[in-house]
Amino acid sequence: MSLSQLEILYDFNPKNLNLINRKFQISEKKLIICAPKQSGITSVIFMYLNNYKKGTFLYIDFSDLRIDIINIRDNIESFIRKHKIILLIFENFNFSFQIPKCERIIITTNTYIHIDGYSSKQFFPLDFEEYIAFDRKQTGIEQIFNSYANFGTYPQVALSNNTNKTMLIQSILSCILKNKKELEIFKNIVPYQGRRISLYEIFKKIKIKLSKDSFYNIVKYFENTRLLLFVEKYNQPKAFKKLYLIDFTIKDAMSYQKDFIKKFENIIFLELYKKKENIYYTDEIDFYLPKENLAILCLPFIPANLLKNKIIKRKRYFKKLSIKKVEIISLGNEIEFKDDKINYQLIPFWNWANSLN
């Protein structure tokens, strides 16, 4: 890359793009954003650039194959000084050279990294509230939820007019997964969505030549980039973890096995994961938040008249954990009651998700 190409990048001006607002806010002067691939962070940055006049910022996406990293490294300091740039944005930066000096700097990466002097934030694909703004075809909240459950959290899929959403999700995954080994491992893991998982048992089923260390390193990469999300069993860190996916429709796109209950559990987990900390599971509770003395049960089709009988069977267990509130997430019914100092709330997913914000 020559200096003239830096001039071409400097001329970039993403104005008047038809973008939809996300809830993520940028206010820090020095910020590292950890964002899974295809999560929509580029659109957020382009909208943020509307606050700056052309000529005051420099945007570089290091996933662009035309980029010559060596020449950027050698020329960017003088370029920033020459043009009095006040905002520098490095997308998909791999930290292969020292970050140049600039008044404001935003860096995106798909794995977490901490640098002194920089704030760090996590960014995710669409949550349900954001999806509502992206879905311009449905009107009723239940219709929007059905669309969300079918099409998932990737903004590209939500906005696409492509009728074959499965192939679009497969295409996205092909961009994210780097080689056949990663693809084969991922295909063997996703059927365990919402279930306790033994990585060693999965390793034994892999049909490609692969060492155990390589297998575990790749799974760790999936975890670090948040393609895979794991939940520990409460007070049993060595027990099998439960597996969830960064997009709950991935299993449908990679497997003919269907399990709406586990998908629904994954939908609920993503809402929690983006807004809560210290989430666990137990033998009796789908999600347990000990800091809030809160138990969450995922029961999409539970009839209201059967709810109390189901709860009574677990009441002693709830009291043992000092639980004060039990939220039962459903797909329509709504009821609230108190029994033996424990508050119970049966609530539709869409009301529950919006209450988290």
66, two tokens: 């035309």
Per-residue pLDDT at 2 exceeds 60:
no
Q: Which CATH number is 242's domain given?
A: 1.10.10
Q: Give pLDDT tens digits for 216-255.
A: 999 999 999 999 999 999 999 999 999 999 999 999 999 9
Of 18-27, 133-142, 239-248, 313-322, where does the model show the most confidence? Answer: 239-248
The reply to whether 117 and 203 lie within a common domain is no
Residue range 262-276: average pLDDT?
96
Q: Residue 16's pLDDT is what? A: 67
The reply to whether 100 and 139 lie within a common domain is no
Q: Residue 356's pLDDT is what? A: 86
Per-residue pLDDT at 3 exceeds 70:
no
347, two tokens: 């609530």
d(CA 330, CA 309): 16
Domain limit, last residue, from 98, 122, 146: 122
Domain limit, last residue, from 242, 268, 294: 268
Tell me the residue ranges of DSSP E strands in 17-111: 30-34, 57-61, 87-91, 104-109
DSSP track, 206-264: --S---HHHHHHHHHHHHHTTSEEEEEETTBTTSPEEEEESSTTHHHHH-S---HHHHH
Domain limit, last residue, from 268, 299, 330: 268
The reply to whether 103 and 136 lie within a common domain is no
Q: Residue 135's pLDDT is what? A: 86
Question: How many domains would you assign to the chain?
Answer: 3
User: Residue for token digits 């950027």?
Assistant: 72
Which residues contact residue 136 at a Cβ distance below 8 angstroms, ignoring those fewer than 6 apart? none
Q: Residue 182's pLDDT is what? A: 95
Q: Which CATH number is 76's domain given?
A: 3.40.50
Q: Give pLDDT tens digits for 18-32.
A: 889 999 999 999 999
Per-residue pLDDT at 286 exceeds 80:
yes
Query: What integer best gives the mean pLDDT of the chain?
Result: 93
Q: Residue 178's pLDDT is what? A: 85
The reply to whether 295 and 318 lie within a common domain is yes
Q: Give pLDDT tens digits for 207-216.
A: 889 999 999 9
Phi and psi of 43, rounded to 5°?
-65, -40
**pLDDT-based confidence at residue 10 (cuts at 50, 70, 90):** very high
The reply to whether 98 and 28 lie within a common domain is yes
**What is the domain extent for residue 93?**
3-122
**pLDDT-based confidence at residue 137 (cuts at 50, 70, 90):** confident
The reply to whether 323 and 293 lie within a common domain is yes
Q: Which residues does residue 119 pair with via DSSP β-bridges, in sequence order? A: 31
d(CA 276, CA 280): 11
Answer for the pair 274, 193: CB distance below 8 angstroms, yes or no: no
The reply to whether 138 and 101 lie within a common domain is no
The reply to whether 155 and 254 lie within a common domain is yes
The reply to whether 240 and 322 lie within a common domain is no
Per-residue pLDDT at 73 exceeds 70:
yes
CA distances for 45 relative to 34, 96, 154, 297, angstroms = 13, 22, 17, 37
Handedness of CA 8, 34, 125, 351 (dihedral sign): negative
The reply to whether 158 and 102 lie within a common domain is no
d(CA 348, CA 18): 32
Q: Count of CB atoms within 10 A of residue 50's CB? A: 11
Answer for the pair 192, 259: CB distance below 8 angstroms, yes or no: no
The reply to whether 234 and 302 lie within a common domain is no
d(CA 138, CA 132): 9
Q: Helix 260-275 vs helix 141-151: angle between axes, to the nearest 10 degrees? A: 100
The reply to whether 62 and 76 lie within a common domain is yes
